Chain A
Amino acid sequence: MRRWLRDPLIWTGIALVALVVFMPALKPVFALLFPDQDRPLFEQDSFINLTLSHIGLVAASSAISVLVGVSLALFVTRPSGREFRPLVETVVATGQTFPPVAVLAIAVPLIGFGAMPALIALALYGLLPVTEATVAAIEQVPAGAREAARGIGMTPAGRLRQIELPLAAPVILAGIRTSVIINIGTAAIASTVGAKTLGLPIIIGLSGFNTAYVVQGALVVGLLAVVTDLAFDRLGSMLDRWKRDDVVASA
């Protein structure tokens, strides 16, 4: 039994790519499933384009979220920034009670319609889980390891790079995962403010009572989210190898 055959990441990944690339070939199937529809396939734009644009929007906004969020969290966990930690925590906690739709909707009056408000709204909203997770991650680094690192003469930068960040990495990654998954969903809704994403067939389908469009868009974006989640899962288990029981190395 080949192991990769049973790996859900591999076959959901293949399913995603196949669905996106061969969507036009499925037209007869949708015609059969939705006999009342004159246009059983969303053809205003190709699903390849929509998917790439969706991924691009999420990747760009998440990159900003991670960069700013991790830096912010590192700043407030250093002695020089400790004073700002309650403020950042208040903003992060309150910010996360804001529904993503609300953040998206607020961005429009400030910036206008299109991909830009979506990018900024996604980046801002995605910042919150990343910051929260990074602060928590740095906080849970064992106090003993921290003291020992100082006591054996590591520099502040060395301690951050060699001790704090590696030990915090799995929790930080979990925050990034939450952030990216939320952003994939919010990016779909962002098609209501004019961003070109996989939400487009869903929105057009909903307003035009074309359930086939809705299903096509929903299947692709749902699969994209699941594949991304599985990929993060895989990445996470690579990061905390030292926590597992089966890697006693040569012992």
Chain B
Amino acid sequence: MLKNRVLLLLVAVGLAAAAGLAFVTHAPNRLLSGQAVSWAIVLGAGRWMALLPALPLVVGPFLPQSRAVHLVLAVSAAALAASLLWLAGDVAIRLADTATPSARTSFGGAFWLIEAMAALAAADALQRGISNPAARITIGAVLILPILAVIGGGAIDQLSIMKEYANRRSVFATAVATHLAIVGATLLPTLGIGLPLGVLLDRRARLRRPVFAVLNIIQTIPSIALFGLLIAPLAGLVAFAPLLGRIGISGIGATPAIIALTLYSLLPIVRSTTAGLEQVPGSVVDAATGMGMTPAQIFRRVEVPLALPVVVAGLRVTVVQAVGLTAVAALIGAGGLGAIIFQGLNGSAIDLVLLGVVPLVAIAITADIALKLAVTMLKMRSG
């Protein structure tokens, strides 16, 4: 009997993708579009054994819903994700032997869809099988290790995205470093202004409406427009005071990027700080006052710890948003992963686009999960 309609749907989509889309494509060079490589070639010579982890997933919808079954399904899904990656890398190695050096083997639609279904199946199984969110995140992190091992072990080095990486190792490293540096540099002024402003708005309710109205309008303006609008005034400022130019400030590059990102980041930080302080129960503050704590002690020992989970939740929104917007900032010369993406888009080099997109998404998701975990742990600590 059918026990798990969700897994059934995921398996069906995965099978449909496998049947209808290419798993990997192969092209004589990076400008031509690739031809699908058949499953017979991918799975030839006993390599179909790599698909064995799919077996539990296919029968999974009909198994009884127990913790053990869910764990097996989560592990199988993770194993399948890793072995599909290995299969794609493996076929790229075999095709590379016979082809010209400029030939390219790339992931196809079926690869991405099945990997996505496997990830969702693992997430769903963990959600059903493990109730403690911290344990769930930890096991999830462990399940990613086989995939990292496949990548780190060089098994996919002949795939086109890794070839792009090999060609641009140093550019890539600089891009990632720049990207992270811009996000980090944004957080300093964001927290420096946002946290005190949030506290002020908690204490002075009258200021909330106008301040949030302004921050909301800023958040509304499209990033590319705000970046663009900062160029002219900054350039004018530098022309007026050349000293600023000498310390590295200019109309394009990192300066307008950090200013704009800070402006965007203020809304979530200020909002969560105010909301975090507001939800501290009045009775707790009353009790602390009654015990003879000074306002400063109450703030430090009572309000801050109780508000922290909400503030960190706001920080999560801020960081994820900043990681994404920094990619747009590449358009005004700020560098980072966006530069790789837009270079790829300009040159119609799809694997180059992916070389920018994949780490960009990975950074965003990692930051999201890490900060979610922090919120969960803070909440558990404060009960």
Contacts and interface: CB of A to CB of B under 8 A. Distances in A.
18 contacts: A83-B5, A90-B123, A98-B324, A98-B364, A100-B324, A101-B338, A102-B360, A109-B350, A188-B222, A189-B331, A192-B345, A202-B224, A205-B228, A214-B228, A221-B224, A222-B226, A225-B222, A226-B221
Contact of B225 (A83, A90, A113, A218): A218
Interface residues of A, number: 47
Interface residues of B, number: 52
Contacts of A105: 341, 344-345, 353, 356-357
Interface in B113-150: 120, 123-124, 127-128
Interface centre among B9, B226, B232, B251 (most CB of A within 10 A): B232
Nearest to A221: B225
Interface in B320-375: 320, 323-325, 327-328, 331-332, 338, 341-342, 344-346, 348, 350, 353-354, 356-357, 360-361, 364-365, 367-368
A94 to B, nearest CB: 7
A82 to B, nearest CB: 10
B345 A211 contact: no
A94 B364 CA distance: 10
Contact of A102 (B123, B327, B367): B327
Nearest to A193: B345
B320 A221 contact: no
A219 B361 CA distance: 30
Given A105-B353, A211-B235, A229 B364 contact: no
Interface string B283-327: 000000000000000000000000000000000000010011101
B331 A206 contact: yes
Interface of B: 4-6, 9-10, 109, 120, 123-124, 127-128, 216-217, 220-226, 228-229, 231-232, 235, 251, 320, 323-325, 327-328, 331-332, 338, 341-342, 344-346, 348, 350, 353-354, 356-357, 360-361, 364-365, 367-368
Contacts of A91: 120
Contacts of A113: 348
Interface centre among B9, B224, B357 (most CB of A within 10 A): B224
Contacts, number: 142
Given A97-B365, A211-B231, A215-B232, A222 B221 contact: yes
A60 B231 CA distance: 32
Interface in A219-240: 219, 221-222, 225-226, 228-229
Nearest to A110: B109
B348 to A, nearest CB: 8
Contact of B357 (A106, A184, A215, A229): A106
Interface of A: 33-34, 83-84, 86-87, 90-91, 94, 96-102, 105-106, 108-110, 113, 181, 184-186, 188-189, 192-193, 199, 202-203, 205-206, 211, 214-215, 217-219, 221-222, 225-226, 228-229
A185 B353 CA distance: 20
Contacts of B327: 99, 101-102
Contacts of B128: 86
A218 B226 contact: yes
Contacts of B364: 97-99, 102
A101 B328 CA distance: 7
B9 A84 contact: yes
A206 B124 contact: no
B356 A202 contact: no
B124 A215 contact: no
Contact of A108 (B324, B328, B350): B350
A60 B50 CA distance: 43
Contacts of B350: 108-109
Given A97-B364, A110-B109, A222 B222 contact: yes
A83 B345 contact: no
Contacts of B367: 97
A99 B323 contact: yes
A106 B341 CA distance: 10
Nearest to A228: B220
Contacts of A97: 320, 361, 364-365, 367-368
A108 B353 contact: yes
A91 B360 CA distance: 18
Nearest to A182: B222
B224 A181 contact: no
